[in-house]
Chain A
């Protein structure tokens, strides 16, 4: 039997090999055959989930909220000490010096990442800006956000903090961070479909154990999750969902 393991599409392209390495390691240690699904977009992810074939998922926190509360997925792990943060940046030549300098009607580039947009909107509140006062410019990738921001096509760009950090040094030198979130309570989550309850202990043990052997550090470095994974209880996940609920309006 093969279980389908879906990875949320918001990881950086250079992590692709890392997820395959993790998948191989998990198979070897759990004895369970896993088929990795790496959708290229949130729409592709939604289609795969709607088909009902996803057994295990590394989910974006906002998707996880719905999967846990509406579809009964079981949270069991999260990346240790690695949280979902976001960055609002402007071009290095921009006249904007602080968040409050962004004026109503400004153009902001962003990707199709609900978590990045939501946290960004909350960070814009002190500048008296809400969703309707911004001209949103949707783009395909964080690299595209960077290009548009550097060229001055938008006043600012929204980035997943990890994606911002992985931009080339040259690209980052042409950008200036206006604010970076430091929430520390919101992270991706590893979930299991309730139908795989029988396999969950073996998979959970294998995933949480990665990092104990010296060779594991190569896999974790390739994933950008150097501390590995830690256990997440149902209550941990429910708390995170409550917290995110407070950010919705």
Chain B
């Protein structure tokens, strides 16, 4: 399932071309508008082994800006924000595919180009000894930790761009 390019939401949205681990790529637009994480809620989603969304709870749907039918059956990277370094997701997939739990702070892209920060945990769904899919739960993050990580992610992103350029 390849995602179509985003349409530019506002004049001041920044355009980026993202390439995902499955080789697909698309154009996204990101604005500087942050949407706060709703108090007391958890964002829950499940994917199959290929990262295709199979379940999304109401909080996931609401915060993403998409409607449920636009999310189910799509790759989870529909939420990928251009400010997120690829290495973070590489670590996620390496960890969960080994049957382990992964934690991390993630900046997600909404349908309208705005963003929200989460503290994400992903676990493999082990059934009869086999990994059958993955569950991801996102909760309201510490602002202190996000502020500490923003420059780190920026640095990792620069390193990735330099590597591609060289």
Contact = CB atoms under 8 A, between A and B. Distances in A.
Given A180-B40, A245-B101, A125 B135 contact: no
Contacts of A243: 42, 44, 135, 137
A226 B144 CA distance: 42
B123 A242 contact: yes
Interface stretch (A102-110, A181-189, A195-203, A205-213): A181-189
Contacts of A183: 40-42
Contact of A246 (B41, B55, B121, B127): B121
Nearest to B55: A239
Given A184-B58, A238-B127, A249-B103, A125 B121 contact: no
A149 B135 CA distance: 36
B143 A126 contact: yes
B110 interface: no
B141 A125 contact: yes
B46 A181 contact: no
A99 B139 CA distance: 15
B125 interface: yes
Interface residues of A, number: 23
A246 B101 contact: yes
Contacts of B125: 238-239, 242
Contacts, number: 63
B161 to A, nearest CB: 31
A121 B141 CA distance: 12
A179 B40 contact: yes
A132 B13 CA distance: 42
Contacts of B122: 246
Nearest to B103: A249
A101 interface: no
Interface string A45-60: 0000000000000000
Contacts of A126: 37, 140-143
A179 B39 contact: yes
Interface residues of B, number: 30
A123 interface: yes
A127 B143 CA distance: 8
Interface string B98-114: 00010100000000000
A122 interface: yes
A40 interface: no
B156 interface: no
Contacts of A181: 40-41
A245 B140 contact: no
Contacts of B44: 185, 243
B40 A125 contact: no
Nearest to A247: B137
A128 B145 CA distance: 9
8 nearest A-B pairs in the assembled complex, by CB-CB distance: A246-B121, A246-B137, A242-B135, A126-B140, A181-B40, A182-B40, A183-B42, A179-B40
9 contacts: A125-B119, A128-B145, A181-B41, A182-B41, A183-B41, A185-B42, A238-B125, A239-B55, A243-B42
Interface of A: 99, 122-123, 125-128, 179-185, 235, 238-239, 242-243, 245-247, 249
Given A126-B140, A242-B123, A246-B122, 10 more contacts: A99-B39, A123-B40, A128-B144, A183-B41, A184-B58, A239-B46, A243-B137, A246-B101, A246-B121, A246-B135
